[in-house]
Structure 1
Amino acid sequence: MNKIFSVALLLAGAALPVLQACDKGEDTPENTAAPTSVASLRFIGEAKVPFRQDYSGTTLGGFSGIDYRPDNNSYYLMCDDPSNLQPVRFYTAALAFDEKSFSGVTFTSVTTLKRPDGTTFPRAGADATAIYGTIDPEGIRYDAATGHILWSSEGVRNLSPTLPGPVTNDPFLREANLDGSHVAQFGLPALFQVKATENGTRSNGSYEGLSVSPGGRFVFTAQEEPIYEDGPRAAFGVPATTRIVKYDKATRQVVGQYAYRLDAVHKAPVPATEFQLNGIVEVLALSETKLLVMERSFAVGATPDYVVKIHEVDLAAATDVSSLNGLQGASYTPVTKRLVLDLATTGIARVDNLEGMTFGPRLPNGHFSLIMVSDDNFAMSQITQFLAFEVIP
């Protein structure tokens, strides 16, 4: 197996050759800075990775997070496989695009993430606590100040009566070396712990995405869905409220929580009793108080089944709700949000389960690029898509 694996994309039905990665990503001050505001996003192109493609003995797919590293023009991709197929891991890749088209993805390495004791995460089914996996890996960011990886897990909550006992593994935000070895863990508010009762974090509803603020002082993440104390989940016709979480990177402790109003699910599932959700799946810092937020809505049987929207969010005037053990009936000011892009308006043939988002290198006109990636859930009915955009300031 070759160490480097290239994937050609299909654009307008024709296969194009994989080009060298865009060379605009040298580590210069003008390229490492992030946009401070995003007026709009212009769609450039799409690249797709074949279903369950093998790379170096691992299965590509399940990409739930992406981050750009400017100094070597590479991208880190989190795989959300909880060791069902292979050990928990992230990939390194190069993307080839310019202001006119997106021509390919080249995978260059895969790295296994380790537990604090240096062992790999156990395969699902290996023991009673791992029948459905011990973690749910989701977010990833490269921290240029330390040369480390920050990554998150949503935790696991499974109360199936067929299990010998409830699986209640807390979400986490961790720091790791580039070889996947553990460095440190960030503090978790007690309110976000996973419990066997209807308290705290919902199953598959916690730290989905994360971002480091420009300058590196803060780390942002979010509860994908409301904790039980903050009210019901979003549904068709029913909006919800969840929390954006702000960490001090130096102390690794939470320094702020802010209420975020989720949209209702875009359509009713078919039949109406089927699964539906809307939640925050990624955050991308513009400043120490402004973020881009990716909301992803899904309804089984609906057309379309996925709707993804990008909002610009401002925390400056919002109430810090850290002291509130529940938002239902409480008095507070939520963050403000402005719609930047509804992916349905781009003309993309299918918007799939987008979960990752990062700023990329500057384009020849000086504007930043932005890349999104989808998590195909390792399902044949879904796709792994990379989408490139121009950031209009």
Structure 2
Amino acid sequence: MATAQLLTAGAVALAGLTGLLPGTGSLGAGSVEVGSLASATPPPRVDYVNAITLPTDLEFGGSRVGGLSGIDYDRASGEFVAISDNRGEQGPVRLYTLGLPLDNGRLATARFDEVVHLRDTDDAPYAPRTADTESVRWLPGRAGYVYTSEGEAKVARPGFIREASPDGGFVRDVPLPDHFTPRLDRDGALVSGIRDNLGFEAMTLSHAGSRVTAVSENALAQDGPAASLDGTSPSRLVILDRASGADLGEYVYPVDPVPAGGLAQATGVAEILAADDDSYLTLERTMIPGQGFTGKIYWTTTDGADDVSGTPALTGSERPMRKELLFDFGTVTPDSDCIEGITWGPRLPDGSRSLVVVADDNFGLAGRTTFHLLSVSR
């Protein structure tokens, strides 16, 4: 365990936004505490509070802090966990436990408490480029972690959803439906499965941690096109029983088109967060060269959408999930940085529930390590 470290970072300007959120949520260590989002009236407010940005040269536990791509909050202890999407090329594949203390309801510091080196199925450290870890959630009772890897479709390396012990050791994989596995033809072209760098960035737990929900960043290769300037991409959301791996349902989630000037390969679902039995918050982001990153938070639900489990390839006639924009970071900052993780956080002094969003600095290639704080209130 590494020694605790306290950081103070500058905050960006305070701004507010009133949005149409169908309800409020409270999530900790994978368990849901809320009623139906769709029935809440009047609609709550979603307000931007502030953000802190970490120094670019910060080191902790023997390696640089960077690539933070997923975050989760444990309500009982008040501690967060964040995972790095380092592929074993900037130090070991790892996650961090940390505190994000508030000062008068605003983020003021980040305190890194422990670095946990994750281990492969043979209980050895991951070899470079064998894992691209993106999303992380506490297991109930802080009994360990569940995390995702995007895999590497261009070499037919599948992604995975994996459980780890508190010290990072391999516990087991949650089985995935076969049609998510990338497959190449004899010329090396992808014909089915997750697209390269557009796999499982997004994952959440629900039903007291008994269910895992993940969504591909863009459509599977056989299901339709990736997001473009001309249209949406039909991503697949899959709900799995965590214990048995049983496929409990799959649904089409429509990813936004690429905005003008944006990069298609940086557009998609960066994270998903359980809000109720069949409702979620999703985080979508895009990079626009020369301008920075855009980010939006949506409410979405499987209610009324077609269950496409057992369907190897979509036809385009399926009823997709409904989605509704809750918050646009562009209303408060011209560059949200590369936001990739979202979690419910602690109650704020005014009684509102917080959302904490983390941005990936891509180890200096694009963006900064930033934590954003939002409040959700009635």
TM score, norm. by length of structure 2: 0.88
- Find the partner of 1:41 among 38, 41, 46: 46
For 1:186-217, what per-residue CA distance to the aligned partner results, in whole angstroms no more than 9, with x for missing partners? 11111111222322111011111211114333
- Find the partner of 1:248 among 207, 228, 241: 241
Counterpart code for 1:362: R
For 1:206-241, what per-residue CA distance to the aligned partner results, in whole angstroms no more than 9, with x for missing partners? 111211114333211111111111111111232211
- Aligned-partner SS, 1:237: coil
**Match in the other structure for 2:196:** 203
Counterpart code for 1:358: T
Distance 1:298 1:54, change over 3 A: same
- Aligned-partner SS, 1:260: strand
**Match in the other structure for 1:91:** 96
TM score, norm. by length of structure 1: 0.84
Counterpart code for 2:52: A
Unaligned runs of 5+ in 2: 14-26, 38-42
User: RMSD across aligned C-alpha pairs, in angstroms?
Assistant: 2.4
Distance in 1 (alpha carbons) for counterparts of 2:94 and 2:324 = 34
Distance in 2 (alpha carbons) for counterparts of 1:36 and 1:371 = 21
Mapped pair 1:325 → 2:309: no
Distance 1:327 1:35, change over 3 A: same
Mapped pair 1:169 → 2:154: no
Counterpart code for 1:223: S
CA contact (8 A) 1:219 1:247 kept: yes
Distance 1:117 1:315, change over 3 A: same
- Find the partner of 2:283 among 294, 298, 304: 294
Distance in 1 (alpha carbons) for counterparts of 2:268 and 2:225 = 12
Which stretch shows the higher mean deviation, 334-343 or 213-222? 213-222
Unaligned runs of 5+ in 1: 14-26, 124-132, 159-166
**Match in the other structure for 2:24:** none
Which stretch shows the higher mean deviation, 213-222 or 66-75? 213-222
For 1:134-167, what per-residue CA distance to the aligned partner results, in whole angstroms no more than 9, with x for missing partners? 1210010002157120000000133xxxxxxxx3
**Match in the other structure for 2:297:** 310
CA contact (8 A) 1:218 1:288 kept: no
Mapped pair 1:5 → 2:1: no
Mapped pair 1:355 → 2:337: no
Distance in 1 (alpha carbons) for counterparts of 2:307 and 2:123 = 37
Distance in 1 (alpha carbons) for counterparts of 2:105 and 2:141 = 33
CA contact (8 A) 2:32 2:274 kept: no
**Match in the other structure for 2:21:** none
CA contact (8 A) 2:2 2:113 kept: no
Mapped pair 1:342 → 2:328: yes
Distance in 1 (alpha carbons) for counterparts of 2:145 and 2:355 = 20
CA contact (8 A) 1:40 1:341 kept: no
- Find the partner of 1:138 among 125, 134, 138: 134
CA contact (8 A) 2:337 2:367 kept: yes
**Match in the other structure for 1:148:** 144
